[in-house]
Amino acid sequence: MRRTMAFPGVSFTIASLFLSARGMAQEARPVLPTEQQVRWADAEVGVIIHLDINVFAPGSFDYARSETLPPLALFNPSKLNTDQWLVSARNAGATYAVLVAKHGTGFCLWPTRSHGYHVGKTPWRSGTGDVVRDFISSCRKYGIRPGLYYNTNLNTYLGAGPGGLPGAGKREAYNRIVIDQLTELWTHYGSLSEIWFDGGVVADSCGGIAEEVRRMIREYQPGAILFQGPPGSGNLIRWVGNEDGRAPYPHWSRADLVASSTGAFSVTDTHGNPEGKVWCPAEADFPGRRQSAWNGGWLWKGGEETQVFLAPELLDRYYTSVGRNANMLIGMVIDTSGLFPAPDSIAFAGFGSRVRRIFERPLARRSGSGAVLNLSLASLPVSVNHVVLCEEIARGERIRSFEVQALVKGEWLAVCAGTSVGHKFIGKFDEVEASSLRVRITASGGEPRLKEFSAYFAN
């Protein structure tokens, strides 16, 4: 028999089965999520979609050399179908989607007025196309919340390369274009559920535009979740610390923000901090293809079908992201025809099917508060090998440690344990035949409140 899943840094004694006086103490000023952050956590699974002009010239482009930028005449994805993208995303269980509107090349997927390196100057749809518009329309059609990515710091076309922003003489003009393009994206396409900055926004003191971006968010998109947004903005979320879909454990939604050398914020401890000063949960983004693939697996290249993560590999990352109190954001490559490739689409559908098969029908489910919660499974013992715990995060992240036990042949046996819960903890353990489960909260910063305590069995 395999050993029960254990988590580092968690130990229990008889004495620890009772909440300490300190554990029941209430915070003077609890750090709580916004309504938008609670809704974002409930979304759990999203996709981030990459299509850039360099997929048409994968062998010659170099982000550090503007002379290698692919000519506009190459961009002509004649079968481009954003409905097909979003159906595939929905099949994977995604409830929100982020389109990379402008990646590192500087090529824009909408007809920007700021310069000529955009879809409106290409052969695609005779220059009348707008990928951002089509994407937003498909999101609305299929009930998926739309978001947009725009990298403010990297733009080969405008001379912002891996070495940093343009020199002081050109920086003002560069910043003006960035502001104008963000204005276009944030005012022309309706409300966005998430805005992705990727690397943050450089502070004004370092030549950036963080203050203006913060003002624009308040004016144009006050309800959007902000991935690595400017410090001081509401609705912040943070990077999980890797591109493999794996949140470290324990993993807290609260964190302490530290200014980097560019003035953008960073979280030095990827675990977060249960006593952190800011509610800033993590998003575990990873490409749908292996990082050994071209461009780290984020962008399409022909002949790399064997690099696709298969459904079981995606499911494994579901456990290490959603199951560890982080959202799961899967990368989608779009090929030169404008479609999400068949091998990737099959993997997405298989993953979504597996998640539904495991978690659609709980053996039992309940909510409640207090140090001990019992969950009756059946009058006779049944097989169980999964539990799900979800805190009422609108009231804060209170649980500090817990143990789940199963009643097996009249004896309570520990099946899994942990520290952080947050929006969701998924415990997977060796199959047991049990008639009841219970969770014992062994340390807590305030009264523990579980929105869900449920049990499942998966073959």
5, part of any domain:
no
- The answer for residues whose C-beta is within 8 angstroms of residue 443's C-beta and 6 or more apart is 16, 19, 20, 23, 399, 400, 401
Mean pLDDT by 10 residues, the chain (459 residues): 30 35 56 97 98 96 94 98 98 98 97 98 98 98 98 95 85 96 98 96 91 97 96 92 97 88 77 95 98 97 97 98 98 98 98 98 97 95 98 97 97 98 98 98 96 97
174, part of any domain:
yes
- The answer for residues whose C-beta is within 8 angstroms of residue 457's C-beta and 6 or more apart is 363, 382, 383, 384, 385, 386, 431
Do 157 and 220 fall into the same domain? yes
181, part of any domain:
yes
Q: What is the DSSP string of 405-448?
A: EEEETTEEEEEEEES--TT-EEEEEEEEEESEEEEEEEEESS--
pLDDT at 21: 35
216, part of any domain:
yes
Do 210 and 308 fall into the same domain? yes
Q: What is the DSSP string of 109-166?
A: SS--SS-S-BGGGSSGGGGT--HHHHHHHHHHHHT-EEEEEE-SS-BGGGTBBTTBSP
- The answer for residues whose C-beta is within 8 angstroms of residue 28's C-beta and 6 or more apart is none
* DSSP tag of 108: B
Interior CA angle at 301 toward 296 and 304, to 5°? 80
User: Helix crossing, 168-187 with 210-220: angle to 10°?
Assistant: 10
pLDDT at 445: 94
pLDDT at 7: 29
Do 340 and 399 fall into the same domain? no
2, part of any domain:
no
Q: What is the pTM of this model?
A: 0.93
The beta-carbon contacts of 159-163 under 8 Å, at least 24 apart in sequence, are 159/66, 161/63, 161/64, 161/66, 162/63, 162/64, 163/64
Q: Please tell me the distance from the alpha carbon of residue 118 to that of residue 439, in angstroms, as a whole number.
A: 55
Instruction: Select from 359, 394, 412 the last residue of a domain.
Output: 359
Do 93 and 148 fall into the same domain? yes
Q: Which of 233, 268, 228, 225 is nearest to 248 (CA)?
A: 268
pLDDT at 158: 96
Number of domains making up the chain: 2
Q: Which of 111, 99, 98 is nearest to 72 (CA)?
A: 111
pLDDT at 17: 36
pLDDT at 13: 34
CATH of the domain at 312: 3.20.20.80
Residue in the structure block whose two tokens are 């999101």: 139
Q: Please tell me the distance from the alpha carbon of residue 243 to that of residue 285, in angstroms, as a whole number.
A: 6
Residue in the structure block whose two tokens are 């998640």: 355
- Phi–psi pair at 184, nearest 5 degrees: -60, -50
Do 345 and 377 fall into the same domain? no
Could you give the 3-state DSSP secondary structure of residue 171?
A: helix
Q: Which of 177, 231, 227 is nearest to 199 (CA)?
A: 227
314, part of any domain:
yes
Q: Are strands 258-259 and 399-408 parallel, antiparallel or unpaired?
A: unpaired
Chain center to CA of 401: 24
Q: Are strands 449-456 and 382-391 parallel, antiparallel or unpaired?
A: antiparallel
| Contact criterion met (CB below 8 Å) for 452 and 389 | yes
Do 346 and 398 fall into the same domain? no
- The answer for residues whose C-beta is within 8 angstroms of residue 403's C-beta and 6 or more apart is 12, 17, 414, 416, 417, 439, 440, 442
Q: Please tell me the distance from the alpha carbon of residue 22 to that of residue 444, in angstroms, as a whole number.
A: 8
Do 353 and 371 fall into the same domain? no
Do 110 and 69 fall into the same domain? yes
Which stretch of DSSP H or E encloses residue 393?
none
Do 438 and 423 fall into the same domain? yes
- The answer for residues whose C-beta is within 8 angstroms of residue 225's C-beta and 6 or more apart is 36, 37, 40, 147, 193, 194, 195, 235, 237
pLDDT digits (tens, 9 = 90+) for 37-49: 999 999 999 999 9
Q: Please tell me the distance from the alpha carbon of residue 114 to that of residue 225, in angstroms, as a whole number.
A: 26
Q: Please tell me the distance from the alpha carbon of residue 34 to that of residue 40, in angstroms, as a whole number.
A: 10
Q: Please tell me the distance from the alpha carbon of residue 46 to that of residue 145, in angstroms, as a whole number.
A: 9
Length of the chain: 459
Do 376 and 339 fall into the same domain? no
Identify the domain containing residue 120 by its residue range: 35-359
What does the radius of gyration of the chain's CA atoms come to, in whole angstroms?
23
